[in-house]
Amino acid sequence: MSNLLVAVDGASKGNPGAAGIGVVVYGESGKVVREISEHIGIATNNVAEYAALIRGLEEALKLGAESVRVQTDSELLARQIAGTYKVRAAHLSSYHERAKSLLAQFRKAEISHVPRGQNAHADRLASKAANGETHAKNKKNKKPNAGGGQKMKVVAFNGSARRDGNTAILINRVFNELEKEGIATEMYQFPGRTIRGCRACFRCIENKDGHCAFWDDVANECINKMAEADGIILASPTYFADISTELKALIDRAGMVSLANGYMLKRKVGAAVIAVRRGGAIHAFDSINHFFFINQMIVPGSSYWNMGIGREIGKVENDEEGLRTMSNLGQNMAWLLKRLKE
């Protein structure tokens, strides 16, 4: 599918309020090949519009598109992406940067503003998602969950500065076992994205809306993914005997939001994954587990502490015990998720 049309829309019930995104991907023949309708928590209309655009572009890249045409009924979104309007709202800057980064990955990309009536399909999906009715399906390869009901999902956050490096290799080894058991997986990688530390304003405690009060980076995007997942993997390389600054920022931000909202991550399954050159891995491993335990999450074990040894990208694959530890972790995580759903 080298040329795709992606229709996107975002909806918010309250602005800010319960929000959702709708994405429709059309193939070269004009047939729908992908529909996405996802609830994104509490957000403004503009944040929802950007979230829909980002999700649509990510999906187009997954489908192998070389060129993409995007249509939206948000004039603001279309003109800001085109550069006609400036991005004046600070909380939209990180979304704008992410969208531009994704667009740059296509050989050809364009975005156009269309009347709402011409974007009705995506609009309908966004409205359903904002109301809590979500789905995402591939019309060509729709596979029902063998166990019936909604498919479980594990999201992994790769705190490495290197995309698809040793930390990602270890995560994928865990994912292999989860996917064998019919559990959906998603890896969120931080390169090219901005996340800042907690500013100690405590507005999340006042607002109690399931989000950080600041929308000027990807923290709330990550928190939404945590809230929607059944299992969470936090993974990091070892930097001076601890985790990366990006992952620490996520832990601080998500941890405060969770505690401020009645332990919203309570009884989700959590697992730590550590890549290390030589020493310091246990301390990094402990840093992540502290986050899981204070949030009343459930942590499965493995046949060794969850670490893999290697410095240059790919070297971790020489650590047979480390890879076996990740496989066993994935098996135990899948078993635990299924037991909790019974």
Report the side by side order of strands in the sheet with 231-237: 184-189, 153-158, 231-237, 269-276, 307-309
Q: Is residue 51 part of a domain?
A: yes
Q: Does residue 321 sit in the same domain as residue 195? A: yes
**Of 137, 172, 201, which marks where a domain is finished?**
137
The confidence score (pLDDT) of residue 133 equals 62
Mean pLDDT to the nearest integer, 212-240 = 92
Q: Does residue 123 sit in the same domain as residue 232? A: no
Q: Does residue 257 sit in the same domain as residue 281? A: yes
Looking at every residue in the chain, the average pLDDT score rounds to: 91
Q: Are strands 153-158 and 184-189 parallel, antiparallel or unpaired?
A: parallel
Residue 17 in tokens: 């309020």
The per-residue pLDDT for range 111-153, each reduced to its tens digit, is: 999 999 999 999 999 999 988 765 444 444 333 344 445 689 9
Q: DSSP code of 92?
A: G
Q: What is the pTM of this model?
A: 0.64
Mean pLDDT to the nearest integer, 224-238 = 95
Q: Does residue 158 sit in the same domain as residue 131? A: no
Mean pLDDT to the nearest integer, 162-174 = 95
Please determine, for residue 192, whether its predicted confidence score (pLDDT) is greater than 90.
no
Please determine, for residue 31, whether its predicted confidence score (pLDDT) is greater than 50.
yes
Residue 333 in tokens: 């995580």
CA 211 – CA 51 distance, rounded (Å): 15
Please determine, for residue 207, whether its predicted confidence score (pLDDT) is greater than 90.
no
Q: Does residue 88 sit in the same domain as residue 55? A: yes
CA 193 – CA 174 distance, rounded (Å): 24
Q: Is residue 146 part of a domain?
A: no
Please determine, for residue 33, whether its predicted confidence score (pLDDT) is greater than 90.
yes
Q: Does residue 163 sit in the same domain as residue 225? A: yes
Q: Does residue 133 sit in the same domain as residue 170? A: no
Mean pLDDT to the nearest integer, 217-231 = 91
In the chain, % of residues over pLDDT 90: 76
**Of 137, 169, 201, which marks where a domain is finished?**
137
Q: Bridge-partner residues for 111, per DSSP?
A: 70
Mean pLDDT to the nearest integer, 320-338 = 97
The per-residue pLDDT for range 239-282, each reduced to its tens digit, is: 999 999 999 999 999 999 999 999 999 999 999 999 999 999 99
330-335 own/partner pairs: CB under 8 Å, 24+ apart: 330/173, 330/174, 330/175, 330/176, 330/177, 330/178, 331/177, 332/300, 332/301, 332/302, 333/154, 333/174, 333/177, 333/178, 333/231, 333/269, 333/271, 333/300, 334/177, 334/178, 334/180, 334/181, 334/183, 335/300
Q: Does residue 157 sit in the same domain as residue 58? A: no
The confidence score (pLDDT) of residue 237 equals 98
The confidence score (pLDDT) of residue 270 equals 98
Q: Does residue 209 sit in the same domain as residue 241? A: yes
The confidence score (pLDDT) of residue 39 equals 86
The per-residue pLDDT for range 43-73, each reduced to its tens digit, is: 889 999 999 999 999 999 989 999 999 999 9
CATH number for the domain that contains residue 116: 3.30.420.10
Nearest to 49 by CA among 87, 14, 21, 84: 21
Q: Is residue 147 part of a domain?
A: no
Please determine, for residue 193, whether its predicted confidence score (pLDDT) is greater than 50.
yes
Residue with tokens 């011409």: 118
Mean pLDDT to the nearest integer, 195-203 = 93
Q: Does residue 27 sit in the same domain as residue 100? A: yes
Q: Does residue 99 sit in the same domain as residue 188? A: no
**Of 137, 167, 189, which marks where a domain is finished?**
137
| Residues 117 and 71: beta-carbon distance below 8 Å | no
The confidence score (pLDDT) of residue 144 equals 39
The helix (H) or strand (E) run that includes residue 9 is: strand 3-13
Amino acid at 40: I
pLDDT-based confidence at 166, cuts 50/70/90? very high
Residue with tokens 């004009």: 30
In the chain, % of residues over pLDDT 70: 94
Q: Is residue 142 part of a domain?
A: no
Amino acid at 183: I
CATH number for the domain that contains residue 240: 3.40.50.360
Mean pLDDT to the nearest integer, 324-338 = 97
Q: Is residue 301 part of a domain?
A: yes
The confidence score (pLDDT) of residue 42 equals 77
For residue 21, the enclosing domain spans: 3-137
Q: Is residue 144 part of a domain?
A: no
What is the maximum alpha-carbon separation in the chain?
59
Residue with tokens 């009924």: 73
Q: Is residue 118 part of a domain?
A: yes
* SS3 label, residue 180: helix
Q: Is residue 165 part of a domain?
A: yes
Q: Does residue 193 sit in the same domain as residue 113? A: no
Question: Do you know the residue count of the chain?
Answer: 342
Task: Provide the number of structural domains found in the chain.
Answer: 2
CA 104 – CA 108 distance, rounded (Å): 8
CA 153 – CA 231 distance, rounded (Å): 6
Helices (H) and strands (E) in the chain, counts: 10, 11
Residue 244 in tokens: 């990366």
